[in-house]
A and B are shown apart, each in its own frame.
Chain A
Amino acid sequence: MSDSIWDRCLTQLENEYTEQQLNMWIRPLQADEQTGNLLLKAPNQFVCDWVEDNCISRIEEILTAISPTQNPQIVLEVGTGATRSLGFVHPQPATGQNGASDTRSASQSATKSVDKTANYRNNLDPSYTYDTFVVGKSNQFGSAASRVICEKPGTGYNPFFLCGPSGVGKTHLMQAIGHGIIDRRPDAKVVYLNSEEYVADMVTALQRNKMDDFKRRYRSADALLIDDIQFFAGKGRTQEEFFHTFNALYRAKSQIIMTCDRYPNEVEGLEDRLVSRFAGGMTVAVEPPDLETRVAILNKKAEFEKVDLPSEVSFYIAQAIRSNVRELEGAFKRVIAAADFNKAPITIDFAQTALRDIIAVRAKQVSIENIQKVVAEYSNIRLSDLSAKTRSRSIARPRQMAMALSKELTSKSLPEIGRAFGGRDHTTVIHACKKIAELRESDPAIEEDYSNLVRILTS
């Protein structure tokens, strides 16, 4: 553990601020002690203001105590510096249409800037290649067209517009094209970014009066890949600028590839001139993957992770998770994590257990209202009987059962439970719970009913 001044200061602050205050305001600070002074960089103005108002004087006191002779000055400002690279970063291929590897090179982050240099380094995700892209019915047309672009970028399908719902693999395919272009022409300047980054970059350029640099950066690309273009909607100044960038790239026969969650003419707030240009090349819809493709994605993921995933388990997961590829991969990771933790082989039973909460996520939360409804149906009585004053055994027993279940399956207090059953006192609930506990011991039929109801309510 380092014993820098800031580390020693942090150790002291950890005794004086709550865990949440530390995590919200103090631990996001980045310290730079190289100048002999302590430069504290806050990620944003909110953090900076809080530290200024609540803790900077204390930091000064601590520093003075730690280092009375040096008396370092503290400078607090909003800013970012290089974050140390994490230990886990090592390129690893992803699998599946959205399977961004969870392990990207930290150096990649340093290449987010897209300046034109002699040795331009692209900022593509190394895992988004054709090797890791699973072709199925839902994307085979787009995939085939994209191969043509790799061969002759900027000439045929330009612009190339991929549309489809979130999480179906548009970004993966777009970046695979980028890699394909670079494979054939290693010096090609392939620029990938999200539309939001483009907007933010432009705002910064405007604020700093650096629009010429901004234009040069994007208009000098050999291939410009812009993700989620729908976020341009309603941003007139951005659209204006992008219109000219588009035209410049098009004239220069540079390849333009865009993704969007819908067809260009369906994006509200997108200028007509952009719509017509976007639709002027090749527009391809990417659909959610079908069952076979989802199975293939899982199998490929397992292959890369070196995990033994039986085919019936792949089918089970693929059948259960249909929404999008990201969640499919999330479910896969969950099964792998559970298998690793339990040191257990992955079987269909194991996968069912591991994914129970994900698959049952749509199952209703157990509430007193739900318990009352289920118990009333199970006992063939009316829902209102549970709250009525009736004391006949045919009503009272299910009522007691429902009270006992409410105590076991919800976190409601006894007075709350009593109130939900016709305003009864909490002592009535205590009596009901005691009675049902006794009956479950002595009467197998009651025990069976109780178990059935618990199963119905929690399955």
Chain B
Amino acid sequence: MHPQLPLTFEHSDSKTFETFFVGKNSLLLDRLQLFANDADHDQQLMVWGSQRAGKTHLLNACCHAAAGVGFRVAFLPAEFINSPQVFDGLEGCNMVCVDDVDRIPRSRELEIGLFSLINAMRQNGQRLIFSSGCGPTDLTTLLPDLRTRLGWGATYSVQPLDVSEVRAALDAAATRAGLSIDDTVIDYLLNNFARDVETQLDNLKKLDTASMQTQRRITIPLVRDVLLTPTTQSVESV
């Protein structure tokens, strides 16, 4: 039997402010919304926190909101920054978001490229948002000229959701996707996988896809089949 093709989860669960689970990050969310919606006069912000705390989501949400008010925006993830030429021309944008600055490959050329972008953007009166796994003072391996510039604006740490908030986030995402999941399954997911919201939502996406393809309800056996199979899961074999 051919598996049913799933509808993509991606667009209905896009990275916007509306789909960000706020938890204890009300101040951060408020400031980013003001910043992206052209409602304050700051030029630069930094968001830092542990991996999978939602930094990438927030930066994309900023781009989405800023594009909505007519800004020309650009999102630049660290894994894409492998040549100083990736910074070329970005100073012409109204807002540039650089994700995971702590993970930019150690290269003087790349650091000078980012340093020059910051100078040009600030000189042009445009906006910058950075994300990082640590605060600017802890970016000790970077060129000092770059490090101090990264800390030029207000910095905010992203507080990860606690387990009850992750549970609520899972419930909300499941409801939005039209899924019905028992509490026992959610308990199982929270106990057996990293309890950060991104991991849990990724798992939910995989389960949704597998559930659609195999026409099975999301139960603990399905979770085991899909998420605990040692090799890369082929949903057709589930």
Contact = CB atoms under 8 A, between A and B. Distances in A.
Nearest to B62: A23
Name the residue among B15, B30, B191 with the largest chain A CB count within 10 angstroms: B191
A19 B15 contact: yes
A86 B30 contact: no
Contact of A102 (B44, B70, B73, B134): B44
B11 interface: yes
Given A43-B93, A102-B43, A104-B125, A361 B193 contact: no
Given A30-B92, A413-B195, A330 B85 contact: no
B38 A87 contact: yes
B74 A86 contact: no
Instruction: Bin the interface of chain A by size.
Output: 35 or more
A147 to B, nearest CB: 26
B90 A44 contact: yes
Interface string B1-21: 000000000110011100000
A105 interface: yes
Nearest to B52: A411
Contacts of B80: 24, 46
Contacts of A62: none
B232 interface: no
Nearest to B200: A411
Interface in B64-118: 64, 67, 70-77, 80, 83, 85-90, 92-94, 97, 112, 115-116
B229 interface: no
B41 A83 contact: no
A196 B192 CA distance: 51
Contacts of A341: 26-27, 30-31
Contact of B85 (A44, A324, A358): A44
Contacts of B94: 83-84, 86
B137 A323 contact: yes
Interface string A287-330: 00000000000000000000000000000000000011011011
B64 A23 contact: yes
Interface string B116-158: 1001101111110000001111100000110111011111110
Nearest to A412: B194
Interface stretch (A271-279, A332-340, A376-384, A446-454): A332-340
A103 interface: yes
Interface residues of B, number: 80
A43 B160 CA distance: 35
B209 interface: no
B75 A196 contact: no
Given A196-B112, A362-B138, A337 B123 contact: no
A78 B14 CA distance: 29
Contact of A28 (B16, B26, B42, B93): B93
Contact of A109 (B72, B115, B123, B152): B123
Contacts of A92: 41
B97 A78 contact: no
Contacts of A166: 144-145, 147-149
A330 B44 CA distance: 9
A104 B73 contact: no
B194 A411 contact: yes
Contacts of B169: none
Nearest to B151: A327
B35 to A, nearest CB: 10
Contacts of A44: 85-90
Contact of A324 (B38, B44, B148): B148
Interface string B195-217: 11001000000000000000000
A231 B122 contact: no
Nearest to B157: A357
A262 to B, nearest CB: 11
B50 interface: yes
B40 interface: yes
A194 B123 CA distance: 11
A43 B153 contact: no
Given A84-B70, A105-B125, 7 more contacts: A27-B72, A28-B72, A83-B124, A89-B125, A194-B119, A326-B148, A326-B149
27 contacts: A23-B74, A27-B63, A28-B72, A30-B72, A44-B90, A46-B85, A46-B86, A83-B72, A84-B72, A85-B125, A86-B125, A87-B38, A89-B125, A102-B153, A106-B124, A196-B112, A196-B115, A231-B112, A326-B152, A330-B152, A333-B42, A334-B154, A337-B154, A341-B26, A362-B137, A411-B50, A413-B191
Interface of A: 2, 10, 15, 18-20, 22-24, 27-30, 42-47, 78-81, 83-90, 92, 98, 100, 102-106, 108-109, 112, 123, 125, 165-167, 194, 196-197, 200, 228, 231, 261, 323-324, 326-327, 329-330, 333-334, 337-338, 341-342, 357-358, 361-362, 365, 408, 411-415, 426, 430
Interface of B: 10-11, 14-16, 26-27, 30-31, 38, 40-44, 46, 50, 52, 56, 60, 63-64, 67, 70-77, 80, 83, 85-90, 92-94, 97, 112, 115-116, 119-120, 122-127, 134-138, 144-145, 147-149, 151-157, 160, 163, 191-196, 199
